[in-house]
Amino acid sequence: MTITSTEKPGTPVVAINDIGTAEDFLAAVDATIKYFNDGDLVEGIVVKVDRDEVLLDIGYKTEGVIPSRELSIKHDVDPGDVVSVGDQVEALVLTKEDKEGRLILSKKRAQYERAWGDIEKVKEEDGVVTGTVIEVVKGGLILDIGLRGFLPASLVEMRRVRDLAPYIGQQIEAKIIELDKNRNNVVLSRRAWLEQTQSEVRSTFLNKLEKARFVPASFPPSSTSVHSWTLAA
């Protein structure tokens, strides 16, 4: 297909090279559009924030929709407190096309997938996680450790704590004592971390005490060299 322009006498002819058939053109356009499957992780830019949902430009034929309930592991959050227009966000594809033809995404599930691998590694290495207390629930606390971790009330301190409200907003270190991805279950113990810390402090103190039990005593120079040992204070 060749297009020429002859609007005015003396105007140079403008030619566009042949780009092929209409099918070729549509195929070329189609190649620029990204396609996704359920469960894929995608990245995009926030273009709109509403009370009930967030719109994400991910290079798809339509903008992706993140319902407010899929924004954060916290319950009943204001979308404006989680993201802002212009933010780059990672999300997981929940539904490629719902009844209204929309691409439904989840920010919190993308976060969950990323965090789970880290949590499993910490558990394997018998390490410690640090999280912020975001909720008081029946029987304990919920910590944000990239996903929702449950800390039973009986394992918050060395002794059981009756009032858990003061812990809201605090950062807490804890050991992972139970992990089940199929049940989305992560159980933590701060008491186990406290016990381990106290044991390590005690061992360090005893080692230093043992090394310092006997130290050389200092004497002024004299004609007679005297060596003595005294018990360290």
Domain spans of the chain?
41-106, 127-192
- Structural contact between residues 156 and 148, judged by C-beta atoms closer than 8 angstroms: no
**Which stretches of the chain score pLDDT less than 70?**
1-20, 22-35, 199-200, 202-203, 205-206, 209-233
- Using DSSP bridges, classify how beta strands 53-57 and 229-231 pair: parallel, antiparallel or unpaired: unpaired
- How far is it, in rounded angstroms, from Cα 72 to Cα 83? 10
**In which element (H, E) is residue 116 found?**
helix 107-124
Predicted confidence (pLDDT) per residue in 139-163, tens digit: 999 999 999 999 999 999 998 888 9
| Structural tokens at position 56 | 């994400």
Cβ contacts of 192 within 8 Å, gap of 6 or more? 155, 174, 175, 177
Same fold, 41-106 and 127-192: yes
Task: Give the number of other CB atoms < 10 A from CB of residue 116.
Answer: 16
Q: Within 13 Å and on the Cβ side, how many CA atoms surround 117?
A: 5
Domain 127-192 indexed as CATH 2.20.25.90: no
- Structural contact between residues 198 and 231, judged by C-beta atoms closer than 8 angstroms: no
- Using DSSP bridges, classify how beta strands 171-180 and 185-189 pair: parallel, antiparallel or unpaired: antiparallel
- How far is it, in rounded angstroms, from Cα 224 to Cα 212? 27
- How far is it, in rounded angstroms, from Cα 101 to Cα 62? 9
Specify the CATH class of 41-106 in words. mainly beta
pLDDT at 14: 42
Cβ contacts of 17 within 8 Å, gap of 6 or more? 2
pLDDT at 32: 52
Predicted confidence (pLDDT) per residue in 199-227, tens digit: 667 667 667 766 666 555 555 665 554 45
pLDDT at 99: 84
